[in-house]
Amino acid sequence: MFQTSTPSLRLSLRALARLLAYPDEDVCAQMPALAEVLRAERVLPDARLAELDALTRRIAAMDPYEAQAHYVDTFDRGRQTSLYLFEHIHGDSRERGSALVNLTQTYEQAGLRMQEGELPDHLGVVLEFASTQPVAVAREFLGEMAHVMSALFTALQERGNPYASVIAAVLEAAGHKVQAVQIAPEPDMDEAWAEPEAFDGCDMRGQSRPGKPQPMSFVRRAHPKTSQGVAP
């Protein structure tokens, strides 16, 4: 018996990327076509296709402003559900900047250049790139980020958000099992952005208690040098 070849992922990955795009009027109008593409390529299991079909119909039926508000509430209200994958790993640290540069170079080495204003770690961009690669390369590339996508899937699933089915579909297309993972609790946005209290967090180590002598140390200040030598 002959073994069937691995199906193409190209159209499915591009359709999933489009499902994760900001739902302006054009994107909303494309929902029926995206569902049709996913059914035609048959990469995903029937149960997942049914979930995605329901999501595309829901978005298509919504007023664009309502769809956009739901999208922002889903992906722009905390790190756990961010579509910027490196934000889950590096936050706003310097390491994220280096990772972004490396990922951009990966795209450029494949002959692809990003549009101005886009960041390379957005999941939609990641899927667009993967769709240009052979199946084995695409799955290996997406597999390197599977742990982040599993956490993203878990956060959406815990919120009962239908976009969880899109992340689950990406994992399945990459050949990974879809399962919930343990994620760290996210601080409340008000708490995260709160101004620190005055004098809060001062380091009291090495200081004496009230009423006790406070040790003090002096450091000799070096004399400034002049063009003729050391000042007297």
Query: Please, which residues have CB within 8 angstroms of residue 230's CB and are 6 or more apart in sequence?
Result: 223
HEC readout, the chain: CCCCCCCCCHHHHHHHHHHCCCCCHHHHHCHHHHHHHHHHHCCCCHHHHHHHHHHHHHHHHCCHHHHHHHHHHHHCCCHHHCCEHHHHHHCCCHHHHHHHHHHHHHHHHCCCCCCCCCCCCEHHHHHHHHCCCCHHHHHHHHHCCHHHHHHHHHHHHHCCCCCHHHHHHHHHHCCCCCCCCCCCCCCCHHHHCCCCCCCCCCCCCCCCCCCCCCCCCCCCCCCCEECCEECC
Relative orientation angle of helices 135-143 and 164-173, to the nearest 10 degrees: 130
Top mean pLDDT of 67-76, 100-109, 173-182 is at 67-76
Handedness of CA 176, 86, 167, 32 (dihedral sign): negative
pLDDT for position 215: 41
Looking at per-residue pLDDT, the higher value among 230 and 38 belongs to 38
pLDDT tier for residue 12 given thresholds of 50, 70 and 90:
very high
How far is Cα 57 from Cα 65, in angstroms, rounded to an integer? 16
Overall pTM surpassing 0.85 (yes/no): no
Measured distance CA(187)–CA(204) in Å, rounded? 27
Q: Which residues contact 29 (CB under 8 A, 6 or more apart)?
A: 60
pLDDT one-digit tens code per residue, 118-157? 888 899 999 999 999 999 999 999 999 999 999 999 999 9
More confident residue, 116 or 199: 116
- Give the separation between CA 176 and CA 145, rounded to whole angstroms: 11
CA end-to-end distance (rounded Å), the chain: 96
| Residue 116 burial (C-beta neighbours within 10 Å; 0-12, 13-18, 19+) | exposed
pLDDT per position as a tens digit, 45-86: 999 999 999 999 999 999 999 999 999 999 998 889 999 998
Rounded to whole angstroms, the Cα distance separating 124 from 105 reads: 17
Residue 166 banded pLDDT, cuts 50, 70, 90: very high
